[in-house]
Every structure is written in C-alpha cells, then in structure tokens.
C-alpha cells in the first residue's frame, strides 16, 4: 500500500450520518485526509462529538449551505468545492451516500477530472420521487470507484451498466461506527433511568422524511398509529417536524413522549434496549441489524432490502403498527434472542479498512500511466 501525501484526499461530508459513516475512513487516512464540511446539516455541538469520537481534526473547511433549498445547496456547494479543488487539487475525492453534498462534490470532482470514490454505492429504492435516489444514481455513474456495501448493491450497479472493475464490495462502515460508539450495558442502564424507561419496555421512533412529515394526513395517521401501540413511545423529533405538529394541531397521545434530538451515542443506547423501533430512517435499518432489534419501516420503499423479512418490516403509514408488530409484542424476548443469532448483512466491521485500501489502489492506478510516460 503506497504512501499518501498530507491533505491529498478530500473527504466531503455535510450531514451527521456522513460523519458517522466516514469517521473511521478519515481516521485511517490520517494526515492524508482533508475534511471538507459543506454545512448542509451543521450543528457544532453534535458534530464535534463525532469528530472527537473518531479522532478527527475539527478544523475542517466549511462551505455553509445549510438551510437552503436543494438546488441552492447543490449549486453553491458545487461552486465552492470546484474552486477549492482548483486552488488545492486533491489526488481523490471521497463521498458517501446520497445527500446534496454528495452530489455536489461528485460534480466538482468530475469537472476537475479528479478520481471520485463513492462509499455506500449501489443502494436503490427504485422510487424516482425520492431526491436521494437521483443523488445516489448520478454519483454512482460519475464515480471512478463504487464501494458497494452488499452484493445486492453491487448487482444494482452492474445492472445499470457500470463496469465490474469499478465496483468493490466492502461492507458498510456503519458496522464499525456502531461498534465503536455503542455505550456499555452499564451506561445504557443509566440512559434508561434518565428517561424513566425499562429494558424492552418501550418503542423508539424517529420520523424525518418529507413523504411523512410534510403531508398533514400522513403525519396525523402516523401519530394515531403510534398512540395505539401498547408500549410507551420515545420520539426524538427534529424541531422542523415538531413545528408541523403544532401548526396542524396534531396532539400526540399521552404515551408518545416527544423529546429534543439527542446525541448518537445516547440514541444507540436506547436503540439497543428498546422492544422495537418505528422509523422512516434508512440508517436505522442498518443499525438495528447490528444491535439486534426489529424495526417497522414506515415508507413507500426502501433502498436496504437486505433486512426486510428479518430485522425489518416495510409498512405504509395507513397500516396498523400494532397489528404488524403483534408477534414482536407478544414474544419480545424470544424475538430478540432470534435476531441475536442473525448476522448483519452489512459486513464484518472491516469496511473502512477495505475502503481505504481500495482508494489507495485507485490512486496508484490513476497515476501509473503518467509515471510510465515519464
């Protein structure tokens, strides 16, 4: 494995999930990593927690596109990143997932003919109504190296005509992130005490996708269904979604407890101790397979089919959550024991090291023709 120049790999990220999933890659790259934070979802108190957890230098560049429309976020980040790459050309650009920051960095790398590496490539919901679907498809086709988390993701890429020599199955970096940040059992006990909860005695829920929180009828239905569950529901809710509830006059049931957003480590502790989760989050579908808890996925579609039928069930907002989770409620301990015997489909916790090795090989391959010509 060759040597990398200091600050030679631009790792572009803009949201909390990107920091979580790229954290170990950045740590492994060491001085070679040049972290560029677009500010798409920037909260210093939360961001710094992850930078500290992964030992990342917090003096990352900030572009500052948070709070803007999708078009403005992509356009302004693209312009800023293109100029940054022209001023200090990296040997490669690394992006993750399907955010607006991911697409902007991919376009900037392509415009400057810089090798692009896409972490978590090949995910497909096959739902063109999702902006994230367009972001991930475009990024995959621009990428010089697609790091697919699963064989299913790899087959999606091959099916779209992306050459196999541009695809490597690495596993998903979420596995090592969760294993690093999951609090110990003792700390989890303290977290439960702080929230007045008992092990396997509550449901953990999150909702943030526009298809759910921006539609008044859908949002009201979701809260009606949460209120019918026979267990307390803990719901860390983004202020934007909370404002929707107030505006629409939706009153959560007494057992649905809305709290402010919490840190990732505390969230993982709550996830590991819940009876089951209810959410529209993509990342949560991966995380439950690592902490061995079931989840109801309230969405039209999912780009993570690997967990459907084992750790996850896909339901529409109109379906009865209580009916769908009936057997989980009746035999909670048994379900948890069964899931504990299943491996996560997202790898063995080596995705970050595989990704860095593939990245270095890509850089060396890119440089080889010019070296030979010299």
Residue 263 lies in a domain: yes
Residue 374 — pLDDT band, cuts 50, 70, 90?
very low
Half-sphere exposure of 11 (CA within 13 A, CB side): 29
Same domain, 326 and 191: yes
Same domain, 58 and 191: no
Ranges of H-type helices in 95-215: 100-111, 131-142, 151-159, 174-181, 185-195, 210-213
CA 177 to chain centre: 11
* 141 and 18 in a common domain: yes
Is the same domain home to 319 and 205? yes
Angstrom CA distances, 4 to 34, 90, 364, stand at 12, 11, 10
Based on the fold, state whether residues 217 and 248 are members of the same structural domain: yes
Number of domains in the chain: 2
Q: Find, among 111, 113, 139, the residue nearest to 124 by Cα.
A: 139
Between the alpha carbon of residue 251 and those of residues 89, 135, 241, 364, the distances in Å are 53, 35, 13, 58
Please give the Cα distance from 170 to 115 (Å, whole number).
Answer: 18
Residue 3 lies in a domain: no
- How many angstroms separate the CA atoms of 95 and 100, rounded? 11
- Give yes or no: residues 153 and 188 share one domain: no
Tokens of 350: 């080596």
- Output the 3-class SS for 238-307: CHHHHHHHHHHCCCCCCCEEEECCCCHHHHHHHHHHCCEEEECCHHHHHHHHHHCCCEEEECCCCCCHHH
Confidence of residue 1 (pLDDT cuts 50, 70, 90): very low
Query: CATH number, domain at 102?
Result: 3.40.50.2000
Are residue 72 and residue 160 in the same domain, yes or no?
yes
pLDDT tens per residue across span 94-138: 999 999 999 999 999 999 999 999 999 999 999 999 999 999 999
Asked whether residue 207 falls in the same domain as residue 293, the answer is: yes
| Domain membership flag for residue 345 | no
Computed on alpha carbons and rounded to an integer, the radius of gyration of the chain in Å comes to: 21
- Whether 187 maps to a domain, the answer reads yes
C-alpha distance from residue 55 to each of 29, 48, 214 (Å): 11, 10, 37
pTM: 0.93
Residues 321 and 183 in one domain: yes
Q: Are residues 228 and 318 in the same domain?
A: yes
Contact 342, 292 (CB under 8 A): yes
Is 4 contained in some domain?
no
Confidence of residue 148 (pLDDT cuts 50, 70, 90): very high
- Containing domain of residue 230, as a range? 179-340
Is position 1 within any domain?
no
Q: How far apart are CA 101 and CA 181, in angstroms?
A: 24
Together in a domain, 83 and 195: no
253 and 148 housed in the same domain: no
In a domain, 15, yes or no: yes
Tell me whether residue 2 is in a domain.
Answer: no
- Average the pLDDT over each of 47-61, 122-136, 204-218, 274-288 and give the range with the smallest value: 47-61
Which of the pair, 53 or 245, is modelled with greater confidence?
245
Q: Which residues are catalytic?
A: 208
| pLDDT score at 2 | 61
């Amino acid at each position: 494995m060759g040597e990398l120049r200091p600050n030679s790999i631009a790792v572009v990220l803009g949201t909390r999930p990107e920091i979580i999933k790229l954290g170990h890659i950045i740590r492994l790259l060491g001085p070679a990593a040049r972290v560029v934070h677009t500010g798409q979802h920037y909260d210093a108190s939360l961001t710094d927690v992850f930078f500290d957890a992964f030992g990342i230098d917090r003096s990352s560049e900030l572009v500052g596109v948070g709070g803007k429309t999708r078009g403005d976020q992509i356009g302004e980040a693209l312009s800023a990143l293109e100029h940054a790459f022209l001023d200090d050309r990296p040997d490669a650009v690394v992006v993750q997932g399907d955010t607006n920051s991911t697409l902007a960095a991919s376009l900037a790398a392509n415009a400057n003919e810089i090798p692009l590496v896409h972490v978590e490539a090949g995910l497909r919901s096959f739902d063109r109504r999702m902006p994230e679907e367009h972001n991930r498809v475009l990024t995959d086709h621009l990428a010089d190296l697609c790091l697919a988390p699963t064989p299913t993701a790899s087959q999606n890429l091959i099916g779209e005509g992306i050459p196999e020599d541009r695809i490597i199955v690495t596993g998903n970096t979420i596995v090592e992130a969760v294993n690093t940040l999951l609090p110990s059992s003792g700390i989890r006990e303290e977290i439960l005490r702080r929230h007045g909860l008992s092990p396997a005695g509550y449901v953990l829920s999150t909702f943030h996708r526009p298809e759910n929180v921006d539609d008044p009828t859908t949002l009201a239905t979701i809260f009606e269904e949460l209120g019918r569950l026979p267990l307390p529901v803990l719901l860390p809710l983004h202020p934007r979604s909370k404002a929707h509830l107030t505006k629409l006059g939706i009153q959560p049931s007494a057992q649905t407890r809305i709290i402010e957003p919490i840190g990732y480590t505390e969230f993982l502790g709550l996830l590991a101790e819940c009876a089951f989760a209810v959410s529209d989050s993509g990342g949560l579908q991966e995380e439950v397979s690592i902490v061995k808890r079931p989840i109801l996925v309230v969405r039209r579609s999912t780009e993570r089919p690997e967990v459907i039928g084992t750790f996850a069930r896909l339901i529409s907002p109109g379906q009865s959550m209580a009916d769908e989770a009936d057997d989980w409620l009746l035999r909670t301990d048994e379900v948890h024991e069964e899931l504990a015997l299943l491996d996560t489909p997202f790898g063995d916790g080596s995705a970050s090291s595989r990704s860095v090795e593939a990245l270095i090989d890509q850089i060396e391959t890119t440089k080889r023709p010019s070296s030979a010509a010299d």
